[in-house]
Amino acid sequence: MEAVTKQLVPDKLLELGFAFSASKTFLSAVEMGVFTELAQSSMTAAELTEKLGLHPRSARDFLDALVALKVLDYSDNAYSNTPESDLFLDRSKPSYIGGYLEMYNTRLYRFWGSLTEGLRSGKPQNEAKNGEDFFGTLYQDPARLKLFLEAMSGVSMGVAKAIAEKFPWENFQTFIDIGTAQGQLPVTVALSHHHLQGGGFDLPVVRPIYEEYVASRGLSQRLHFHGGDFFQDMLPSADVLVMGQILHDWNLEEKHLLIAKAYEALPTGGALIVYDALIDDERCQNKFGLLMSLNMLIETFGGFDYTGADCCAWMDKVGFKDTYTKPLVGAYSMAVGIK
């Protein structure tokens, strides 16, 4: 009896090609505050249409698409948030990550339209094409900078909790988070390990934002701010240094330099923790890490993401004697080097 040949269909390819429609539908919902409105109470289609100022022609399709995308629930003729949407997409909650998604919507969505050009030129496709410096401008505006750093805190919350749980902090006394932003990681680690003293290192303009956040968590006596530029200045010394979502911004030479500076700042027996969306060593599983590396093409002049094996090899090169990698949460892993 002849084997039945499975008929090939293009559905998966068509779905992938149209995936931008799902992304934009979701990002528009974040932009319009759908999830913040529904955090107050569930609403009917008519109520949401009026609240959000939607045109009735497409309102029901828009809302039902969000249900199909599993970011809203629908029952008893009313829409409500899913547990994840309620926690992470309500602007009134400290766990809100929508600020980052709003940046995806207003900036990255259009820049990714030039990916083909970037792949052929090897050059950024963001504001740099017109001689602008988005991040330089951002850091000059305290109000916008605070919103951006708060968004980064929401995005990094899960990773920070995983590092607090999965690294042997009991073996160390002090730590510094390099590129600390608002201070989500040092706060999370310090709240989990009461013996630790530490802080964060970032550009001086970040100090008031960091200190306000740390004070709000009652940790001002244990966590201090160190201002500086990690390319121009020496890194502060501590038993553990953390570099989270830092290395992927820079080219290979700059990556080597930052790891070497961390090695010099650590005592013998000290540890460097590097976390990013580390690409799997076979480079075929961590889709988010690979796409994030393409995002570094869009956003930077030389940045790229990398595998855990790559990072351990760079650590070995500057003198770290023991290196290993460990999964954290979702697409994120950490590489650890012991001096």
Active site residues: 248
- Residue 124's SS3 state is coil
Residues forming a β-bridge with 224: 199
Nearest Cα neighbor of 245 from 197, 205, 185, 285 is: 185
| d(C-alpha 76, C-alpha 69), whole Å | 19
Using left for φ > 0, alpha for ψ between -120 and 50, and beta otherwise, residue 226 falls in beta
| d(C-alpha 108, C-alpha 55), whole Å | 26
| d(C-alpha 250, C-alpha 33), whole Å | 34
Q: Are 176 and 190 in contact (CB under 8 A)?
A: no
Number of neighbouring beta carbons within 10 Å of residue 226: 20
Biggest CA pair distance of the chain:
78
* CA distances, 167 to each of 2, 147, 192, 203, 241 (Å): 56, 29, 12, 26, 12
Secondary structure in 3-state letters for 183-209: CHHHHHHHHHCCCCEEEEEECHHHHHH
Q: Burial, 55: exposed, middle or buried (Cβ in 10 Å; 0-12, 13-18, 19+)?
A: exposed
| d(C-alpha 56, C-alpha 62), whole Å | 10
Which backbone phi and psi does 178 adopt, to 5 degrees? -85, 130
Q: Distance of alpha carbon 212 from its chain centroid, rounded? A: 21
Who contacts 296 (Cβ-Cβ below 8 Å, separation ≥6)?
Answer: 248, 249, 303, 304, 305
